[in-house]
Structure 1
Amino acid sequence: MTHPPAGLMDAFWAYERALMANDLDALDRLFAPGPNTLRGDANGLLVGHEQISAFRGARGGAPRRRIVQAHVQTVADDHALVVAVTELARGGRGQQTQLWRRADGRWAVTAAHVSLPAPALDTRVWRVVGDPLVHAPHTGPLTGESVAVKDLFAVAGHRVGAGNPAWEAAATPEPAHATAVARLLDAGADVRGIARTDELAYSLAGTNAHFGTPPNPRAPHRISGGSTSGSASAVSLGHASIGLGTDTGGSIRVPASYQGLFGLRSTHGAVPLDGVLPLAPSFDTVGWLARDAALLARVGEALLPPAAPPSRTALVVVPQLVALAQPDVADAVRRWVGAHDVSTEDWDLAQLPTWLAAFQTLQAHEAWRSHGGWVGTHAEAMDPDVRGRFEAASRVTLEQAEQAASTVAAARATIRDFVGDRVLVLPATSSVAPRIGEGLQAVRDATMQLTCLAGIGGLPALSLPVTTSGGLPCGVCLVAAPGRDRDLLALTCELAQP
Structure 2
Amino acid sequence: MREPEVVALDGDTIPDGLVEAALSYERALAEDDVALLDAFFVDGPAAVRTDADGVLTGHGAIARFRRLRGGAPARLLLRLEVVVLSPESAVTIATTSASGRSAALTQVWRRTPDGWRIAVAHVGAPASALDERVWRVAGAPLLPAASPGALDGMTVAVKDVFAVAGQRLGGGVPAFLAGRDPETANATAVQQLLDRGASVRGVAVTDEFAYSLTGVNPHHPPTPNVLHRGHLPGGSSSGPAAAVALGEAMVGLATDTAGSIRVPASYQGLWGLRTTHGAVDTSGMLPLAPSFDTAGWLARDGETLLRVAESVLGASTTASAAGLVTLEDLRLTDPVAAAFDAALDRLGPVRRVAYPLDELAAAFRTVQAAEAWRSHGAWILAHPGSLSADVAGRFAAAQLVTADDESAARAALDGHALRLRELLGDDVLVLPSTPTTPPPLDIAPASLDAVRAATTRLTSIAGALRAPAVSAPLLGPRGAAGGLCLVGSRGDDVQLVARMLDLATELTTEPRS
TM-score of the superposition, structure 1-length normalised?
0.92
Deviation of the 1:347 alpha carbon: 1.4
Higher mean C-alpha deviation, range 459-468 or range 230-239: 459-468
Select which of 289, 293, 299 maps to 2:298. Answer: 289
> Would you say 1:122 and 2:122 are equivalent positions?
no
Higher mean C-alpha deviation, range 329-338 or range 233-242: 329-338
Equivalent in the alignment of 1:95 = 104
**In 1, are the aligned partners of 2:474 and 2:504 still within 8 Å (CA)?**
no
Select which of 243, 253, 258 maps to 2:252. Answer: 243
Deviation of the 1:111 alpha carbon: 0.9
Letter of the structure 1 residue corresponding to residue 339 of structure 2: A
Select which of 423, 436, 443 maps to 1:438. Answer: 443
Secondary structure of the structure 1 residue equivalent to 2:37: helix
Deviation of the 1:318 alpha carbon: 3.3
| CA offsets 1:350-376 (integer angstroms, 9 cap, x no match) | x32232222111111100101111111
Deviation of the 1:19 alpha carbon: 3.9
Deviation of the 1:64 alpha carbon: 4.2
The percent identity for this pair of structures is: 47
Q: 1:118 to 1:245 in 2, by over 3 A?
A: same
| CA offsets 1:144-191 (integer angstroms, 9 cap, x no match) | 112111121122333222112222222223333222222222222122
Q: 1:21 to 1:342 in 2, by over 3 A?
A: farther
Deviation of the 1:77 alpha carbon: 3.0
Letter of the structure 2 residue corresponding to residue 234 of structure 1: A
**In 1, are the aligned partners of 2:317 and 2:495 still within 8 Å (CA)?**
no
RMSD over aligned CA atoms reads: 2.4
Select which of 418, 421, 424 maps to 1:419. Answer: 424
Deviation of the 1:287 alpha carbon: 1.1
> Would you say 1:343 and 2:353 are equivalent positions?
no
Higher mean C-alpha deviation, range 28-37 or range 465-474: 465-474
Letter of the structure 2 residue corresponding to residue 34 of structure 1: G
Select which of 300, 313, 316 maps to 1:304. Answer: 313
Equivalent in the alignment of 2:332 = 325
In the aligned structure 1, how far is the partner of 2:145 from the partner of 2:28? Answer: 52
Deviation of the 1:288 alpha carbon: 0.6
Deviation of the 1:291 alpha carbon: 1.0
In the aligned structure 2, how far is the partner of 1:187 from the partner of 1:34? Answer: 52
Equivalent in the alignment of 1:493 = 501
Q: 1:309 to 1:430 in 2, by over 3 A?
A: closer
Secondary structure of the structure 2 residue equivalent to 1:133: strand
**In 2, are the aligned partners of 1:362 and 1:404 still within 8 Å (CA)?**
yes
In the aligned structure 1, how far is the partner of 2:335 from the partner of 2:43? Answer: 25
| CA offsets 1:41-99 (integer angstroms, 9 cap, x no match) | 222211222211221232333344453332321112322112223345x6654432211
Equivalent in the alignment of 1:395 = 400
> Would you say 1:378 and 2:386 are equivalent positions?
no
In the aligned structure 2, how far is the partner of 1:142 from the partner of 1:18? Answer: 48
| CA offsets 1:116-148 (integer angstroms, 9 cap, x no match) | 443211122222222222222321111111211
Letter of the structure 1 residue corresponding to residue 183 of structure 2: E
Q: 1:470 to 1:29 in 2, by over 3 A?
A: farther
Select which of 43, 47, 62 maps to 1:37. Answer: 47
Equivalent in the alignment of 1:189 = 198
Secondary structure of the structure 1 residue equivalent to 2:213: coil
Select which of 201, 207, 217 maps to 1:198. Answer: 207
Secondary structure of the structure 1 residue equivalent to 2:489: coil
Higher mean C-alpha deviation, range 364-373 or range 475-484: 475-484
Select which of 354, 357, 375 maps to 1:352. Answer: 357
Q: 1:142 to 1:473 in 2, by over 3 A?
A: farther
Which segments of 5 or more consecutive residues in structure 1 lack a partner in the other structure? none
> Would you say 1:482 and 2:487 are equivalent positions?
no
| CA offsets 1:203-243 (integer angstroms, 9 cap, x no match) | 11221221223222222333322111211111111121111
Secondary structure of the structure 2 residue equivalent to 1:380: coil
Letter of the structure 2 residue corresponding to residue 373 of structure 1: A
**In 1, are the aligned partners of 2:434 and 2:482 still within 8 Å (CA)?**
yes
Q: 1:62 to 1:195 in 2, by over 3 A?
A: closer
Q: 1:47 to 1:470 in 2, by over 3 A?
A: farther
In the aligned structure 2, how far is the partner of 1:307 from the partner of 1:93? Answer: 51
Deviation of the 1:467 alpha carbon: 5.4
Q: 1:134 to 1:282 in 2, by over 3 A?
A: same
Equivalent in the alignment of 2:58 = 48
Equivalent in the alignment of 1:366 = 371
Deviation of the 1:383 alpha carbon: 2.2
Q: 1:155 to 1:12 in 2, by over 3 A?
A: closer
Deviation of the 1:276 alpha carbon: 1.0
Q: 1:448 to 1:34 in 2, by over 3 A?
A: same
**In 1, are the aligned partners of 2:48 and 2:121 still within 8 Å (CA)?**
yes
Q: 1:137 to 1:87 in 2, by over 3 A?
A: closer
In the aligned structure 2, how far is the partner of 1:441 from the partner of 1:21? Answer: 33
Q: 1:305 to 1:369 in 2, by over 3 A?
A: farther
Select which of 62, 66, 85 maps to 1:75. Answer: 85
**In 2, are the aligned partners of 1:44 and 1:219 still within 8 Å (CA)?**
no
Q: 1:287 to 1:471 in 2, by over 3 A?
A: closer
| CA offsets 1:388-418 (integer angstroms, 9 cap, x no match) | 2112111111111112112211221232223
In the aligned structure 2, how far is the partner of 1:404 from the partner of 1:460? Answer: 22
Q: 1:32 to 1:283 in 2, by over 3 A?
A: same
Equivalent in the alignment of 1:334 = 341
**In 1, are the aligned partners of 2:320 and 2:496 still within 8 Å (CA)?**
no
Q: 1:239 to 1:21 in 2, by over 3 A?
A: closer
Counterparts of residues 247-262 of structure 1 (less than 5 Å):
247-262=256-271
Equivalent in the alignment of 1:428 = 433
In the aligned structure 2, how far is the partner of 1:87 from the partner of 1:190? Answer: 33
Secondary structure of the structure 2 residue equivalent to 1:327: coil
Higher mean C-alpha deviation, range 114-123 or range 276-285: 114-123
Which segments of 5 or more consecutive residues in structure 2 lack a partner in the other structure? 1-6
Equivalent in the alignment of 1:107 = 116
In the aligned structure 1, how far is the partner of 2:62 from the partner of 2:315? Answer: 50
> Would you say 1:264 and 2:273 are equivalent positions?
yes
